[in-house]
Amino acid sequence: MTTLVIGANGQIGRQFCELARDAGEPIKAMVRNDEQRAWFEERGIDTVVADLEGELRHAFDGCDQVLFTAGSGPHTGPDKTLMIDLHGAIRAADLASELGLSRYLMVSAMRAEDPLTAPETLRPYSAAKYAADAHLRHAGVPYLILKPGRLTDDAATRKVATSLEETGGDNTVSRANVACALLHLVQSRELVDREFDLLDGDREIAEALS
């Protein structure tokens, strides 16, 4: 019952992988090269080298679900957004479906369903997330979609909200809280075909994401 973590080397991915290791949750961290691999192996985290823009199928060996938390990052252009956040997510979903995996967990973005409301520089990213989420809903694999708000580097509180009404309009969430929420979702294998917004708030994660 191992989870393939696509995007393990990202800011959320690294935090999630350490949390999963500490919780004894079996994971396999997918990284692009051996330089990235070293950080995980130093921490006793199983890794596989694979590429969302290249060879990918072998990474799924021995895994029964996949967590997609990859992102092209703020310093790349729309071309990488297209290939990673859109095409990479779609390829991974199609492989998960073909291989009969039990679930596909997607880290998307709050309000991704309306990309034109995003700041202009984020519209290609929001559009990619919108399309990847739409594809996942019909890919034939059970899914969860987590939609964090604007990400911060604040410490984990393990207290969250799932709507702006709860927060009084505050649309932020710490990457650390996203990682904690992902651990809960990875372990909650009975949850399928659900979607959650995620913000910093006052509710325990298990209560909010149930």
CA distance 99 to 61: 9
Report the 3 state secondary structure along 122-146.
Answer: HHHHHHHHHHHHHHHHCCCCCEEEE
Name the DSSP letter for residue 64. S
Return the active site residues: 125
List beta partners, residue 147: 197
**Contact status, residue 174 vs residue 155, Cβ threshold 8 Å:** yes
Distance CA 51, CA 48 (A): 10
Strands 143-148 and 65-68: unpaired
- Cα–Cα distance for residue pair 17/20, rounded to 1 Å: 5
